Structure formats: C-alpha cells, structure tokens
A and B are shown apart, each in its own frame.
Chain A
Amino acid sequence: MKRIRLSRPHPAFLHPQQQPSSLLQPTPLAACIAARHRRHASSVSQRPDSKHVMFPGAVKSAFSSAMRFEQPSSYPALPTYRVVDQSGAVVDTSFAPDLSDEEVVKLYRDMLTVSIMDVIMFDAQRQGRLSFYMVSAGEEAVSVGTASALAKDDVIFSQYREQGVFKQRGFTLNDFMNQLFANQKDPGKGRNMPVHYGSRELNIHTISSPLATQLPQAAGAAYALKIQRLQDPSIPPRVVAAYFGEGAASEGDFHAALNIAATRSCPVIFICRNNGYAISTPTLEQYRGDGIASRGLGYGIETIRVDGNDFWAVREVTKKARELALQDGGKPVLIEAMTYRVSHHSTSDDSFAYRARVEVEDWKRRDNPIARLRKWMEAKGCWDEHKEKEARDSIRRDVLRAFSEAEKQKKPPIRTMFEDVYEELTPDLKKQMKELRSQLERYPDEYDLSEFDGGKDSLDR
C-alpha cells in the first residue's frame, strides 16, 4: 500500500516565494474575522469523501490512514541566520550595510560603552559602592543591534540584561549612574534595585524583577498602539519590542503573551536572548524542544533564529521583523538570538560553581560580538588599533566621571517612599508619614538621615 507522505519540507528551508500557504501565515484582520466565522462550529460541515478534517479546531488538517506520532527529532533544528562570520567576513552575499561608517562607529561605541561600564560597575559592587549589578558581557550586539533597527517611538519592554538598548536609545552615562546609585536624579526615585532602568522620553518601560511579566504587557501595549492608530491615522505606525531570556520563556506569561499577541494580531516583536543559562540552569534543564524559536510556529507566529553575536544579523532581522509586525494590520514576530552569557548572572552569583572556567574563556576567545563587529569595521577601513585605544580610554574616563558625580549626589527625600503608591496620598499614608516623622524625632540617634534630601522635614506635608 502506498503511503501518503504528509510531512512537508520545513518552512525554514523554503524560499519565501515557495512558502506554503499555511495557518502559520497570519492573515489580515478581515480575513481573520471571516475565518473565525468560517470556523464557527455550526458552519463547519464534513463533506463525504473529504480529504481534510473539518473540525473547527484544525480546519486544514488532512486525514491520514497511517498512525504516526510526530517526532521533534525528525525536524531539523531551525537554522541560525548570520551576516558576518566570526572572522568579520560577510557570508550573506545579499547583504549591504544600510548605515554610514559614522553610524556604525557610533553603535560600536555603544556596545563598547556598555561593556566597559559593566566591568567598572561590577568591581564597584564588589567594593560595596552599590548594592547590586548585572553585566551583559557577550550580549552587547543583541541589545544594541536590535534597538538600532527600531524607530524612536517604538515602545520597549525589557528584562534586565539590555543595557545596550538603553545606551543605543540615548540613555546617558549619568542616567545609568543615577539609577545605580539611587540618587535624587534617579527617575525611579531610589525605589528599585540597581539595573532596573526606565525612561519616559525613550519609550522604555521601567524594568521589574519578576520574569516574563513584561511579555503579555508588551502584547497589550502593542494592541494599544494599534487601536490608537486606527482611531487617529495621523499617528505614525509603531511596534512594541519585548526582550526576555530563554529561562523566562518557561514562565506561563510567555505562553500567555505569544498566544494573546497572535489571536489579537498585535504588532509586537518578541526578542529572546538565548544565552545558554538561567543563573545556573543550562538549557538542557530549561527545555527539550528546539530552543524558543520552534515554539513560535506553534502559536502561529512568524519566527527567526539569529546569531546574536553578529551585530549586522540582529539588526537586519529586527528591521525586517518590524516591517512584518506592521503588515496586515499588525502581527507578532519572534526572534531568537543565540548568544552565550560570558559573565556571571549577577554580582550575587559565582558562575564557576556550575560551569567550567575554560568553557567561558573559550567563548570569550572564540566569539565575541564586539570583536566581530570590530573586525568587520577594520576590514572596511573605518576603524583601527589607534581608534580602539582612544575609544576605550575616553569611554573609561567618561564612565568614571559619571560614576563619581552620581555617587556624590544626595538621595531622594524620605517622603518619596510614601508617594506614587496611589495617584494621591491616601489618609492612611498621610497618617503613616506623620508617624514615621515622630519616630525619627524621638529616636534621632537610631537613624541616619544625612544622605536624604531635606532630612526628616520632607515628611511634613
């Protein structure tokens, strides 16, 4: 008996023109609505001799008389797109840089700045100058490269290892330092742990510690942008970009977010930094499928896997993803950027407790996103040893200057602890503020108020 071979070549291996028209291709909104009506149970009928199941839950599924369980292993791993190889040579012949030499240099300097600031601040934490820090060594290209392909008005939700996104968007060294030292110039008003940056002007939502909570929020924000543009077509089209690690993708919120973004056709780009570790947990203990990218298809989301150490690849991919996200009235896109977490998870972690030093050294030597872009720039003739040294020296000086300025600043007024819980201070909070003030009055030696702007008087309101 002849068997019908049901498995099609994997979409990833098909040229765009050959793409099968499948349910994985999000349809325009109108068609979605039509499809929903089509899929209404009462209108789905099963014609005799039909080759396809007409169950409302899977309308394009062909019948098969051969029982075969699909095996993840029978599908090749999704490929990893790259533009520039480890030696800085261009491997995608269709690639043409869309940035001037000055623009590339600027983005390279952003990556360098994050990496130099990381080293200094990590040491500063070790000296007890700040309570906590997280570096993003090895992931500078993902953050700077993706951010560089977004528009200024695009809204960003991040996890915590995206310093490069802030830097690329215009966060200054002073902005970083004010937050890290929780001084009175910190827009977070000294309420959040270090590295929990946020910016209104740059359209980046304030970072919160709970993992993956930002993902369904990003879907909702993207839906808001979409609706606002429907209501006022003069608003330029915008997308939301949401960053997260491969560990966070195990949270239920990841599932909720991708599913709701797909069903509501939200213009959101989900950007996963797959760096191989969630603190001490390697990916083998995080998932058993083909990374995060393979999941996107299951949600009906266009997906790509990219070499996260290749600045040009992440930039190109994000640029295209943004275009896709705005098509057909909006739809989600998933990018999985493959990298390696060169550093410890945070200042509270010693990663040599769970991975070999030699593995890390290997990665550093073999493939570093900053070195890779540098090789490309040197080959192009817009960078050299001298410029590198000059850049590193001046960035280091600037970081140290911003550091000492921020460290010297006063802390916000103590009153700040009671504000912004609600839009207005509630009677309860006013009463508690008074009570704290009287406590500070009666036990002056028990509290150090010297650093706080206005001392205890800020509580008089």
Chain B
Amino acid sequence: MRSSTIRPLSSALARASRAPPSATPALLSRRRQYSTHPPNAKLNLPTDYSTTALLAHESKSALGNPELPPEVRNGTTKRMNLFQAINDALSIALAEDESVMVFGEDVAFGGVFRCTSKLAETYGGDRVFNTPLTEQGIVGFAIGAAAEGMRPVAEIQFADYVYPAFDQLVNEAAKFRYRDGACGRSAGGLTVRMPCGGVGHGALYHSQSPESLFTHIPGLRVIMPRSPLQAKGLLLSAIRSNDPCVFMEPKILYRAAVEQVPTAAYTLPLSKAEVLKEGSDVTIVSYGQPMYKCLAALEKAERDLGISVELIDLRTIYPWDKESVFQSVRKTGRCIVVHEAMVNAGVGAEVAAAIQEDHETFIRLEAPVARVAGWSIHTPLLYEAFNAPDVARIYDHIKRVLEY
C-alpha cells in the first residue's frame, strides 16, 4: 500500500477512536483488520469514557470521594488519563522517598506506554533507568534491591512477558519474608507494574490477564485499578506497602480513561473492595476494564427489567475483601463475577467458591454464582470480540440469574 493511502487512513482511524460511537463510519469498520463494533448493536456499544459514571468528570466528584483524606479533598484536581495518573504516582513516590527506583525495559525514554515520561530527567538516571531485556533479571534485581532497603518499582513491559520472572516472583519475592524469619528481611519494598488485558488487537501476547496465577501465591498482593484516580492511589499504596505487590494496569485504559485526579499525594486502601453502586437484586463483582462493561450492562438491565444491581470493584484481587462481597450477596442473593481472563481457575472461581463456602452467604443464595469471563482459550487476534466478556453477555447473565 502506498504511504499516501496509509496516512489519511490512520488519521481517520485515530479520529474514529476519539469520536463518539455513533459517528463511526461503516466504511472504516470494513477496512479495520481487527474486532470492531457491529453497526446495529444496542448493548455492545463502545464504552463512552467521556460520559461513564465510573470516571470523575468534574473536580467536585473527584474530591467528593470519601476515601480521600480531608486535606486532599480540599485540594485541587487535574484531568489525567491512566498513564498520566501512573506517571504522577511514580513521580510522587520518587520525590517523597529516595529509596524508590523505577526501572525496566525502555522506561528511561518514558516507557512504551509513556507511564515513566520525564521521570529520568527529573529524578536522574541512577534511579530511573533501562535494564537489559530480561524479565527474570529485572525482577531478581528488584528483589535484591528491596532486600537491601530500597523500594524498587519494576516494570514488565507486558503482563504476557512476566513468565520468565515467575520463578523470582513465586519462589523468591513471595517467600522472602517467610524464609528469612527472625532475620526480618523481606522483598516488601518491591512493586512490579505490568500492563495487562485486551486492547482490541493484542492477540496472544499483548492481551493476557494472568492475575489469577499470582493470587495462588501466598505472600504477594495483586492489584488492578479501574481508573486514573484509583490507579494513582492504589499504586502509591502498593509502593508504600511492605509486602511485594503485583500491580496490573489495564492497558486499554491508558489513554481512553480520563478523569479529574487529585493533584496531592494520597493512597487508597489495599485489600478493600469498593461498592460503586448499591442495589438489591444482583451483585456484580469485577475489577479493571470490565467494570465499564458491567456498568453499561446493569444500566440497561435496570431500565429493561426494573431491577437494581449492586456493583463492586474488588481493586485488590488478593488478599481480597471477602467481607464486602459476602455482605452484598447476603443482601441480593445473586452474584455474577466478571473478568477478562479465562474462566477456569480464574478469580471468579475463588470468589464463587468463597461465597458458597460461607455459611451465612450460602443460605441466602437464590441462584448459582455466575462467571462471565474469557473462554478457556488463548486470546486470538480476530476473535477478541467473541472472547472477552461484553455488555451483551453480562446483560444476559443478569437476566439469567434473575430468572433462575
């Protein structure tokens, strides 16, 4: 193809991705070489991040968050997308604690997702630097630095590439404090960041959500934010936490999710779920990007079926906030767990099992706990729209648990 054709096409695509969904020309969707939205869809519409209630579009709503300390709530906010919020959190962490270091592949020039923009210039190449291309090296290096009193924030370029570092995470980072016993050393200063989740065209190795693998490792904290405001507070918590944290960033939100984020330093609690919306008929438990799909599905279901749905963001996937989920399910009697990662042995399995294991919650169940998740397959390029949980599937499951 001649470049003169490519340029107008890519700028049209860029415009289309910014434009509201209704403005997407059908012509473009035919030209796109990967999953897109069907023209007559009523449920599976693209997420409109500019209007979703999950994002604080006004300064007032951002500062109204009751989890924020009073001095932050009296401060200012700034519009940030997810990568800017991550960048802001890293910048605050580097500024407030000289033992914080940020490193990984390509972080010095700002990172392939721009999360580490300007950090090397501001805080120096000694604390913000590139490593050789070796995931086991990056995490091993970070564990050693943490064990000697630093607070390393290591980046794995994509969650799909964390596996070479699995041994270091499972056998070393997670067990460091336990085996060191009374010696008292740990890898607690460690935070490992990684972009995760589907992005529309990431195929097998740029789409994975391996969070449930980490939830099977005692000693690690696994965190996934849903929005810029959440990302900043949770990342600062992870960096300050004395347990090794795996911090997973839904990459599709890096540029898409934009909201008002408090400019001050603040943390949000780990291992604490957030009830985003109260309801009485069904509980939906999710985390990360599917939260937006859940919200769209429940809004539609509430209108169509005259019901009310409770929406919970787990935020920390392990150790997770069982009590908040149990309380909600005891009230609604029905529960749907939604995640992108494949269904088998995913987070949904743990949540569902814990719900039915809890005596007081089990007896309140009106329907089996449903899991809406990726199929038990890899993430194929062309078929992402049929694999990731979408608004239609979540909507359908809301109906199904109600009809049970």
Contact = CB atoms under 8 A, between A and B. Distances in A.
B172 A426 contact: no
A220 B134 contact: no
A257 B149 contact: no
B274 to A, nearest CB: 17
Contacts of A206: 179-181, 183, 185
Interface in B143-162: 143-150, 152
A216 B134 CA distance: 10
B144 A264 contact: no
B140 A220 contact: yes
Nearest to B136: A256
Nearest to B140: A216
Most B C-beta atoms less than 10 A away, residue of A217, A224, A227:
A217
Contact of B183 (A200, A219, A223, A264): A200
A342 interface: no
A217 B132 contact: no
A33 B126 CA distance: 11
Given A186-B181, A208-B175, A217 B143 contact: yes
Contacts of A252: 134, 136, 164
Contacts of A420: 177-178, 180-181
Interface string B196-232: 0000000000000000000000110100000000000
A216 B168 contact: yes
Nearest to B182: A187
A208 B219 CA distance: 16
Nearest to A204: B183
Contact of B179 (A188, A216, A259): A188
A210 B167 contact: yes
Interface in A181-240: 186-189, 191-192, 196, 198-200, 205-206, 208, 210, 213, 215-225, 227-228, 230-231, 240
A421 B218 contact: yes
Contacts of A213: 140, 167-168, 171-172
B323 interface: yes
A292 interface: no
A240 B129 CA distance: 21
Contact of A260 (B134, B152, B219, B243): B134
B278 to A, nearest CB: 23
Contact of A215 (B131, B140, B184): B140
A191 B140 contact: no
Contacts of A224: 144-145, 148-150
B111 interface: no
A187 B183 contact: yes
A208 B179 contact: yes
Given A260-B141, A264-B131, A199 B147 contact: no
A346 interface: no
B319 A428 contact: yes
Contact of B188 (A157, A223, A225, A423): A423
A260 B138 CA distance: 8
Contacts of A219: 137, 140-141, 144
B81 to A, nearest CB: 30
Given A188-B181, A189-B181, A264 B140 contact: no
Contact of B142 (A198, A220, A427): A220
B242 interface: yes
Interface in B242-294: 242-243, 271
B145 A221 contact: yes
A168 B143 CA distance: 26
B145 A228 contact: no
A210 B171 contact: yes
A375 interface: no
A78 to B, nearest CB: 24
B57 interface: no
Given A213-B140, A216-B141, A221 B147 contact: yes
A233 to B, nearest CB: 14
A263 interface: yes
Contacts of B131: 260, 263-264
A216 B144 contact: yes
Given A208-B172, A220-B145, A191 B185 contact: no
A264 B126 CA distance: 9
A378 to B, nearest CB: 40
Contact of B150 (A198, A208, A227): A227
B150 A256 contact: no
Contacts of A230: 126
Contact of A205 (B138, B145, B147, B219): B147
B9 to A, nearest CB: 29
Contact of B137 (A188, A210, A231, A257): A257
A227 B101 contact: yes
B322 interface: yes
B182 A225 contact: no
A215 B149 CA distance: 17
A420 B183 CA distance: 11
Contacts of B145: 220-221, 223-224
B317 to A, nearest CB: 13
A426 B164 CA distance: 29
Nearest to A222: B144
B297 to A, nearest CB: 30
A408 to B, nearest CB: 20
A224 B271 CA distance: 29
B178 A191 contact: yes
Interface in A93-146: none
Contacts of A191: 178-179, 181
A255 interface: yes
Contacts of A155: 148
A309 B178 CA distance: 36
Contacts of B152: 220
B44 interface: no
A227 B127 contact: yes
A453 interface: no
Contacts of A228: 148-150
A199 B136 CA distance: 25
Contacts of A407: none
Given A198-B183, A216-B137, A427 B322 contact: yes
Contacts of B116: none
B287 to A, nearest CB: 18
14 contacts: A188-B181, A188-B183, A191-B179, A200-B182, A206-B180, A210-B171, A213-B168, A218-B144, A223-B141, A252-B136, A256-B137, A259-B132, A423-B186, A427-B323
The 10 A-B residue pairs with the shortest CB-CB distance in the complex, in nearest-first order? A216-B140, A220-B144, A256-B137, A217-B144, A220-B141, A221-B144, A224-B148, A187-B182, A220-B145, A189-B181
Given A205-B180, A220-B146, A255-B134, 16 more contacts: A33-B125, A206-B183, A216-B168, A217-B147, A217-B172, A219-B137, A220-B140, A220-B152, A256-B141, A259-B134, A260-B137, A420-B178, A420-B181, A421-B178, A423-B186, A428-B322
